[in-house]
């Protein structure tokens, strides 16, 4: 089975070629089937790999030599270990479900073939990212998913705002990618190689807090902040909701945005040896988690709520990484992929039923009309809120337990964030599914449950969201934490350096009780506010808001801030270059040459008087001058 690894990325690539080339020729059913089958085939191979693989050390599959210059040898090869296998399962598994869902969701869209070719291309690059055995292959995937993200956000590019959102995502990702790229250069100059299997053993022998390692890890983390939407580069992700909803679920919730976490987990030994970077990651992660959660509280667009929720959950993952809970962070990647993909697909189902209405102020009372969507989304909401025994509880709790051991203040803020999460998620559920319908009559008559191709992925993901947490039941609850054992070889190097979780059981129980209690209080508060008190709707845009709500609703003015400090100065500088350098300098030179010719000609043309005698006289003078000249010369 391990010999077939090269087929895993190849299938989606072939799917991309077929769907892309045949997008106007093949019927929609064929395109949907081919694209879905390509990903399902990869998923089957990944599953086989998962059951067969039992090596404690990574297996490198060398495909061909790629760059071999001087002392640098960058082969095109794949690395198979527990981490990449789990990522493969997430990408191809959730990818398959979302492909199936999309065949229903996009069925009325004119760009059906284009959409599926992009989706397959995305899966290909994402697989390359997680399979690559060195930072350069990872970077190919890293850039490729960025490209696909751009293409899919701007999928309906005839809408100017959507095209702008795509550009924003692309440019913000470039800023982060620059950090990643420079980080890779520093790695090459430090270790003389880009292969994980050569760098990590060398790094093992370096001392903790080494300045070069700190530089490398900070640069890599900058790359991660771009891709995984962390402060200060997170503002592209909410705007990325301009893309079709399956894209939001696949790229902007389950897979691509977790690439940064994957990269840090992959390079865990480098980060473990840089305590400064670890602290930065923890603080940035927590700040992102809280700020995004506060913004999510007042958003009225159902997808925006989920987008900020994603940013917030990614913040939790980085918080976990920052305190050294690599397994916990990766566990959260896994469970988050389940429930956030589910929530996005559920939101897509709601939007589909509401005839493309995304404003929650116009929804309400959809519980009866969309029963399957309602039940599955409720599962997802319970999971993300962190109520036992749903999956989110275990992963979030593991992160928070590590944070508690690391720093009590961070833990308190983290629990606050969890409460905010529960509040805004239930606010979204209450506004959407409870109460009376607030949309137009036309929308009301059109309400319908989604087709089976859309509900089956919802059901599968709902089941995974409920039971997904059981792969990591901690010891204190009588489990054995299968995931920690499975991933142990990957984090071996860091494990020996990080202290084990040494909380006693009663402390752990208290921590769990506090966070669950907080979450329940938040849910009750949301219930009182939005159901008991007669549906306190978020006010319309024109009505005044309280100061705090205004800050939250306007996203802490991040966009305005960036406009003021980055865009405006750039505009002024461009204006200067345009007016001074371009207009007066370059244009002045070119136009001056033209004007000079015209002026000179205007003067010279007066010589042509029309008097034939003058012409002949000039000719004779000329002949005489030439004669005199030639006499003088000899």
Partner 1 sequence: MDNISATIQVVPLNHYILLSAIIFTIGVVGVLIRRNAIIIFMSIELMLNAVNLLLAAFSAYSGDASGQVFVFFIMALAAAEVAIGLAIIVMVYRNTSSIDINILNRLKW
Q: Which residue has the tokens 């007669």?
A: 534
Stretch that binds partner 1, among 278-286, 463-471, 518-526, 610-618 (CB under 8 A): 610-618
Binding residue for partner 1, selected from 620, 625, 626, 628, defined by CB under 8 A: 620
Q: Which of 79, 88, 12 is nearest to 51 (CA)?
A: 88
92 close to 131: Cβ distance less than 8 angstroms: no
Q: Where would I find the H helices in 496-539? A: 505-527
Q: How far apart are CA 403 and CA 381, in angstroms?
A: 23
Binding track over 261-290 against partner 1, x by CB under 8 A: ------------------------------
Is 627 an interacting residue with respect to partner 1 (CB under 8 A)?
no
Stretch that binds partner 1, among 283-291, 479-487, 543-551, 612-620 (CB under 8 A): 612-620
For partner 1, the closer of residues 565 and 600 by Cβ is 600
For partner 1, the closer of residues 547 and 607 by Cβ is 607
Is 613 an interacting residue with respect to partner 1 (CB under 8 A)?
yes
Stretch that binds partner 1, among 106-114, 225-233, 451-459, 608-616 (CB under 8 A): 608-616
Is 609 an interacting residue with respect to partner 1 (CB under 8 A)?
yes
Binding residue for partner 1, selected from 605, 629, 630, 632, defined by CB under 8 A: 605
Is 110 an interacting residue with respect to partner 1 (CB under 8 A)?
no
Binding residue for partner 1, selected from 207, 540, 612, 632, defined by CB under 8 A: 612
Q: What is the signed CA dihedral for 92, 94, 98, 99, rounded to 10 degrees?
A: 20
For partner 1, the closer of residues 7 and 620 by Cβ is 620
176 close to 221: Cβ distance less than 8 angstroms: no
CB of 627 to partner 1, least distance (A): 13
The alpha carbon of 62 is separated from its chain's Cα centroid by a whole number of angstroms, namely 29
Stretch that binds partner 1, among 213-221, 376-384, 534-542, 601-609 (CB under 8 A): 601-609
CB of 174 to partner 1, least distance (A): 59
Q: How far apart are CA 279 and CA 266, in angstroms?
A: 18
| DSSP conformation class of 628 | H
Is 628 an interacting residue with respect to partner 1 (CB under 8 A)?
no
Stretch that binds partner 1, among 58-66, 168-176, 374-382, 606-614 (CB under 8 A): 606-614
- Terminal-residue alpha carbon distance, the chain: 95
Binding residue for partner 1, selected from 57, 496, 534, 611, defined by CB under 8 A: 611
Is 442 an interacting residue with respect to partner 1 (CB under 8 A)?
no
CB of 613 to partner 1, least distance (A): 7
Stretch that binds partner 1, among 137-145, 332-340, 580-588, 602-610 (CB under 8 A): 602-610
Stretch that binds partner 1, among 291-299, 317-325, 436-444, 605-613 (CB under 8 A): 605-613
Binding residue for partner 1, selected from 617, 622, 626, 627, defined by CB under 8 A: 617
| DSSP conformation class of 301 | B
SS (H, E, C) 440-453: CHHHHHHCCCCCHH
Helix (H, G, I), strand (E, B) or coil at 462: helix
Binding residue for partner 1, selected from 565, 572, 616, 625, defined by CB under 8 A: 616
Lookup: tokens for 406 = 């690391």
Q: How far apart are CA 393 and CA 445, in angstroms?
A: 39
38 close to 71: Cβ distance less than 8 angstroms: no
Q: How many residues bind partner 1 (CB under 8 A)?
A: 10
Please name the residues in contact with 39: beta carbons below 8 A apart, sequence gap of 6 or more: 11, 12, 15, 92, 95, 96, 99, 120, 123
Q: Which of 158, 86, 84, 92 is nearest to 119 (CA)?
A: 92
Q: How far apart are CA 550 and CA 542, in angstroms?
A: 12
Q: Which residues bind partner 1 (CB under 8 A)?
A: 605, 608-613, 616-617, 620
């Amino acid at each position: 089975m391990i010999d077939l690894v090269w087929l895993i990325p190849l299938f989606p690539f072939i799917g991309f070629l077929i769907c892309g080339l045949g997008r106007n020729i093949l019927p929609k059913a064929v395109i949907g089937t081919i694209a879905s089958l390509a990903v399902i085939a990869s998923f089957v191979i990944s599953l086989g790999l998962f059951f067969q693989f039992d090596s404690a050390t990574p297996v490198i599959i060398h495909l061909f030599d790629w760059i071999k210059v001087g002392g640098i040898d960058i082969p095109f090869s794949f690395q198979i270990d527990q981490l990449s296998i789990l990522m493969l399962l997430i990408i191809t598994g959730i990818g398959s479900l979302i492909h199936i869902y999309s065949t229903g969701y996009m069925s009325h869209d004119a760009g059906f073939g284009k959409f599926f070719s992009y989706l397959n291309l995305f899966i290909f690059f994402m697989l390359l990212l997680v399979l690559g055995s060195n930072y350069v292959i990872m970077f190919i995937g890293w850039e490729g998913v960025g490209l696909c993200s751009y293409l899919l956000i701007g999928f309906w590019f005839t809408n100017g705002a959507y095209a702008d959102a795509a550009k924003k995502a692309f440019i913000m990702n470039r800023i982060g990618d620059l950090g990643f790229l420079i980080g890779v250069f520093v790695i090459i100059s430090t270790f003389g190689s880009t292969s994980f299997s050569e760098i990590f053993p060398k790094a093992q022998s370096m001392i903790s807090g080494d300045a070069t390692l700190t530089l490398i890890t900070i640069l890599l983390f900058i790359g991660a902040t771009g891709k995984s939407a962390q402060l200060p580069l997170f503002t592209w992700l909410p705007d990325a909701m301009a893309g079709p909803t399956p894209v939001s679920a696949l790229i902007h919730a389950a897979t691509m945005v977790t690439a940064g976490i994957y990269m840090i987990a992959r390079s865990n030994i480098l980060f473990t040896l840089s305590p400064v970077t670890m602290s930065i990651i923890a603080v940035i992660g927590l700040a992102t988690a809280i700020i995004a959660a506060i913004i999510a509280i007042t958003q009225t667009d159902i997808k925006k709520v989920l987008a900020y929720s994603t940013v917030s959950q990614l913040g939790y993952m980085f918080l976990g990484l920052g305190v050294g809970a690599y397994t916990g962070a990766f566990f959260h990647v896994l469970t988050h992929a389940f429930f956030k993909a589910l929530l996005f697909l559920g939101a897509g189902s709601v939007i589909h039923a509401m005839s493309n209405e995304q404003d929650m102020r116009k929804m309400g009372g959809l519980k009866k009309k969309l029963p399957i969507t309602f039940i599955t989304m409720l599962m997802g909401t319970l999971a993300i809120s962190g109520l036992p025994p749903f999956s989110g509880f275990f992963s979030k709790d593991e992160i928070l337990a590590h944070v508690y051991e690391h720093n009590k203040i961070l833990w308190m803020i983290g629990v606050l964030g969890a409460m905010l999460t529960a509040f805004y998620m239930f606010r979204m559920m209450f506004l959407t599914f409870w109460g009376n319908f607030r949309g137009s009559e036309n929308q009301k008559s059109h309400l319908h449950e989604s087709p089976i191709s859309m509900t089956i992925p919802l059901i599968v993901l709902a089941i995974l969201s409920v039971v997904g947490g059981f792969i990591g039941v901690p010891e204190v609850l009588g489990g054995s934490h299968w995931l920690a054992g499975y991933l142990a070889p990957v984090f071996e190097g860091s494990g020996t350096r990080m202290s084990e979780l040494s909380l006693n059981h009663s402390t752990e129980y208290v921590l769990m009780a506090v966070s669950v209690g907080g979450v329940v209080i938040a849910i009750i508060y949301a219930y009182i506010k939005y159901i008991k008190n007669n549906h306190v709707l978020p006010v319309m845009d024109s009505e005044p808001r309280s100061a705090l709500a205004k800050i939250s609703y306007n996203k802490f003015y991040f966009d305005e801030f960036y406009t003021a400090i980055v865009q405006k100065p750039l505009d002024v500088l461009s204006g200067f270059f345009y007016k001074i350098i371009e207009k007066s300098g370059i244009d002045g030179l070119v136009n001056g040459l033209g004007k000079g010719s015209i002026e000179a000609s205007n003067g010279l043309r007066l010589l042509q008087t029309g008097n034939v005698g003058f012409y002949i006289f000039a000719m004779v003078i000329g002949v005489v001058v030439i004669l005199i000249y030639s006499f003088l010369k000899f």
